[in-house]
């Protein structure tokens, strides 16, 4: 295998702006701004997203501003028991799933305590008052300076695993990762995102504390300018990778990952809710949650029709599932649209597809059911295997299909499926990515040594029993349709199925191919070839180089772009897979 050229830390360079690195420089920049204002008394609000390590931030602000009066918003929170009771209907007792919370940040605070804090702030005589923590801008609605300390969701998850942080308004460091993640997904992040979006236009400074002890600071205006600039060019988010009980060895080589890890099961290369954006401001490499781009520039990024249908949400994700020299994924099914809306408060469901980047000779996919099976018999066998620790004979009920490299399997919600060992899947799906109902996990344990949760009670309610062998063969496997061709290129439609709002197109090319966004964002992956270059016919953006297996986003506002082989790939065949929203049929999918 060739040496990896996969870029694990892609960054967007923005000219004309600088940032500050390290706590000393951060403090100096804030002091300089306060001094320049010429006020005798200043009130600084340091608003913190869930997951910011308050111990470090508080210590550094106390050290930098020793004479300041500091108010911690955590002292004005409701009692923990009251918060637990408030969030319970959205966290629920389900081991995996909850319900999307409509709560707002002010509901986590005691109105009396916030009022008293506001009075104390008004009465304080110190030259500098610092209000710090989640909800700082609630205690000081009109601060003289607003600093926003943000945090990407992937880093929050790592901190959960290390028992470094608790949930919003909780002191549950040692609770299980599964519980903390579920509570954050359904409650904390929804609450903090709603609050964040009301503040973005008011940010004086934004603070990046993703790397402990190595903070970065930029002006709010600089970050907003960078987000606006990003909608005019192709870009990548920062991928992250995770091991799993069925994980494989392919990602280690292709993405140049730690060879000492047992495996890597997942590679998340386009999940803006959890990925980061790296932005280069002069000598400052600043990390910000990529969802901020969706929040701040939704129409320019997504396109008008997509934004009207989905709101400020990125509805397509790309990720890798690596089972090369690993094991089968769990046998699973995704909820129907009506079910996910009613049970979990999600507006749309996880229709998806498996595009096979690599496959050994014995690779396969479980997809759909066999003909003439009896639902009650299959469910009974699954229940018996789960409850009695026995074996579920999947091949007696689920159809098993051989697959090869560049096959495309379509998986509308309600379809039983499972990718087998010895393949690499580029999963192209709608974004509600945790709503997988595991039916059977081959009797194995998770990496923590505990059984992985099975969601048979949910799964049996959404399985589409008529999706059997003949139907699956006709509707879900390799539905390749030639679309167009020209000198050195051809375009094919590969899916997705008619039940999904996602369209996919594959281009094979040895020469330049022209693409148009047609007012909707595109997500692409270089599925064949070592290197390609993305260019603007009008020089609207700088040439953008992508490497094998890298996923990139082309915003709706980028309009027209071309892709051609580059570097060692010049003159050789390359290929991309492109996904976009079928805007002409959105009303059929009842997104709103």
pLDDT tens digits along 532-573: 999 999 999 999 999 999 999 999 999 999 999 999 999 999
Among residues 315, 319, 326, the alpha carbon closest in space to that of 348 is found at: 315
CATH class of 481-589: mainly beta
The pairs formed by 478-487 with CB atoms below 8 angstroms and a separation of 24 or more are: 478/407, 478/408, 478/409, 479/408, 479/410, 480/408, 480/506, 486/513, 487/511
Strands (E), 364-421: 364-369, 398-402, 408-411, 417-419
CATH number of 11-230: 3.40.50.300
- pLDDT < 50 positions in the chain: 590, 592
Do residues 237 and 272 touch, judged by C-beta distance below 8 A? yes
Collapsing DSSP to helix, strand or coil, 518 comes out as coil
Question: Do 241-274+301-475 and 481-589 agree at the fold level?
Answer: yes
* pLDDT score, position 193: 98
Among residues 399, 382, 373, the alpha carbon closest in space to that of 458 is found at: 382
With a CB cutoff of 8 Å and minimum separation 6, the contacts of 324 are: 248, 249, 250, 358, 360, 422, 423, 424
Among residues 257, 398, 252, 404, the alpha carbon closest in space to that of 329 is found at: 398
10 Å CB burial of residue 78 (0-12, 13-18, 19+) is middle
Distances (CA, A) of 338 to 345, 454, 465: 10, 21, 17
* pLDDT score, position 1: 62
Rounded Cα gap, residues 182 and 334, in angstroms: 18
Collapsing DSSP to helix, strand or coil, 337 comes out as helix
Report cis status (omega within 30 of 0) of the bond before 409.
no
With a CB cutoff of 8 Å and minimum separation 6, the contacts of 16 are: none
Among residues 25, 74, 47, the alpha carbon closest in space to that of 216 is found at: 25
With a CB cutoff of 8 Å and minimum separation 6, the contacts of 43 are: 121, 128, 129, 131, 140, 143, 144, 145
Which tokens is 45 given? 């609000």
Collapsing DSSP to helix, strand or coil, 108 comes out as helix
With a CB cutoff of 8 Å and minimum separation 6, the contacts of 2 are: 530
Bridging pattern class, strands 42-48 and 128-133: parallel
pLDDT tens for 280-339 read: 999 999 999 999 999 999 999 999 999 999 999 999 999 999 999 999 999 999 999 999
- 54-64 vs 23-37: helix axis angle to the nearest 10? 50
* pLDDT score, position 591: 52
| DSSP label of 107 | G
* Residue position matching structure tokens 């920062």: 238
The DSSP annotation for 248-301 comes to: BSHHHHHTT--TTSS-B-EEEEE-TTT-EEEEEETTEEEEEETHHHHHHSHHHH
Q: Delimit the domains of the chain by residue range.
A: 11-230, 241-274+301-475, 481-589
Do residues 104 and 194 touch, judged by C-beta distance below 8 A? yes
The DSSP annotation for 294-305 comes to: HHHSHHHHH-HH
Name beta bridge partners: 490. Answer: 485, 508
Centroid of chain to Cα 450: 26
* pLDDT score, position 590: 46
Rounded Cα gap, residues 424 and 358, in angstroms: 5
With a CB cutoff of 8 Å and minimum separation 6, the contacts of 391 are: 385, 443
Among residues 316, 290, 289, 321, the alpha carbon closest in space to that of 303 is found at: 316
Do residues 100 and 345 touch, judged by C-beta distance below 8 A? yes
Rg (CA), the chain: 25
Bridging pattern class, strands 276-281 and 284-289: antiparallel
Distances (CA, A) of 28 to 33, 245, 303: 9, 47, 40
Q: Given 3.30.420.40, 1.20.120.1780, 2.60.120.10, 3.40.630.10, which CATH number is that of 241-274+301-475?
A: 2.60.120.10
* pLDDT score, position 242: 96
Among residues 191, 95, 76, the alpha carbon closest in space to that of 136 is found at: 76
Collapsing DSSP to helix, strand or coil, 318 comes out as strand
Among residues 553, 514, 501, the alpha carbon closest in space to that of 305 is found at: 501
| SS (HEC) of 193-223 | HHHHHHHHHHCCEEEECCCCCCCEEEEHHHH
């Amino acid at each position: 295998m060739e040496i990896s050229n996969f870029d694990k830390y892609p960054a967007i360079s923005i000219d004309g702006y600088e940032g500050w690195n390290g706590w000393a420089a951060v403090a100096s920049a804030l002091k300089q701004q306060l001094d320049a204002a010429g006020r005798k008394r200043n009130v600084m609000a340091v608003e913190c997203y869930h997951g910011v390590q308050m111990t470090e931030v508080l210590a550094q602000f106390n050290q930098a501003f020793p004479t300041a009066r500091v108010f911690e918003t955590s002292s004005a929170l409701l009692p923990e028991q009251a918060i637990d009771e408030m969030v319970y209907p959205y966290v629920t007792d389900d081991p995996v799933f909850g319900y999307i919370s409509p709560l707002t940040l002010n509901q986590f605070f005691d109105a009396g305590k916030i009022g008293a804090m506001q009075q104390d702030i008004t009465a304080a005589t110190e030259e500098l008052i610092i209000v710090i923590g989640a909800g700082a801008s609630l205690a000081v609605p009109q601060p003289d300076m607003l600093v926003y300390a943000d945090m990407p969701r992937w880093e929050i998850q790592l901190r959960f695993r290390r028992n470094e942080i608790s949930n919003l308004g909780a002191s549950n460091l040692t609770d299980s990762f599964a519980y903390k993640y579920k509570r954050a997904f359904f409650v904390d992040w929804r609450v903090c995102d709603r609050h964040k979006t009301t503040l973005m236009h008011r940010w004086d400074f934004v603070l990046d504390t993703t790397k402990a002890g190595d903070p970065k600071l930029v002006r709010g205006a600089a970050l907003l300018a960078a987000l606006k600039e990003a909608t005019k060019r192709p870009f990548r988010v920062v991928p992250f990778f995770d091991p799993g009980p069925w994980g494989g060895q392919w990602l280690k080589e292709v993405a140049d990952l730690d060879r000492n890890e047992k495996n890597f099961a997942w590679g998340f290369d386009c999940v803006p809710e959890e990925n980061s954006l790296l932005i280069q401001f002069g000598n400052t490499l600043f990390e910000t949650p990529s969802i901020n781009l969706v929040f701040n520039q939704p129409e320019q990024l997504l396109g008008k029709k997509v934004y009207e249908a989905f709101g400020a949400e990125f509805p397509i994700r790309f990720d890798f599932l690596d089972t090369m020299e690993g094991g089968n994924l769990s046998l699973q099914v995704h909820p129907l649209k009506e079910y996910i809306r009613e049970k979990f408060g999600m507006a749309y469901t996880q229709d998806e597809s498996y595009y096979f980047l690599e496959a050994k000779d014995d690779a396969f996919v479980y997809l759909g059911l066999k003909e003439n099976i009896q639902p009650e018999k299959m469910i009974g066998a699954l229940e018996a295997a789960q409850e009695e620790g026995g074996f579920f004979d999947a091949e007696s009920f689920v159809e098993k299909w051989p697959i090869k490299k560049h096959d495309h399997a379509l998986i509308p919600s309600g379809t039983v499926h499972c990718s087998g060992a010895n393949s690499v899947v580029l999963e192209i799906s709608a974004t509600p990515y945790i709503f997988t109902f595991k039916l059977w996990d081959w009797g194995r344990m998770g990496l923590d040594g505990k059984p992985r949760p099975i969601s048979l009670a949910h799964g049996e309610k959404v399985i589409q029993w008529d999706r059997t062998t003949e139907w699956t063969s006709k509707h879900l496997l390799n539905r390749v349709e030639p679309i167009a061709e020209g000198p050195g290129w051809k375009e094919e439609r590969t899916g997705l199925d008619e039940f999904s709002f996602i369209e996919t197109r594959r281009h094979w090319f040895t020469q330049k191919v022209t693409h148009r966004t047609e007012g909707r964002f595109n997500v692409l992956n270089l599925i064949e070839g070592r290197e390609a270059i993305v260019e603007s016919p009008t020089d609207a953006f700088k040439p953008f180089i992508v490497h094998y297996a890298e996923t990139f986003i082309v915003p709706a506002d980028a309009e027209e772009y071309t892709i051609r082989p580059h570097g060692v790939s010049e003159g050789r065949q390359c290929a991309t897979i492109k996904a976009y929203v079928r805007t002409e049929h959105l009303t059929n999918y009842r997104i709103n």
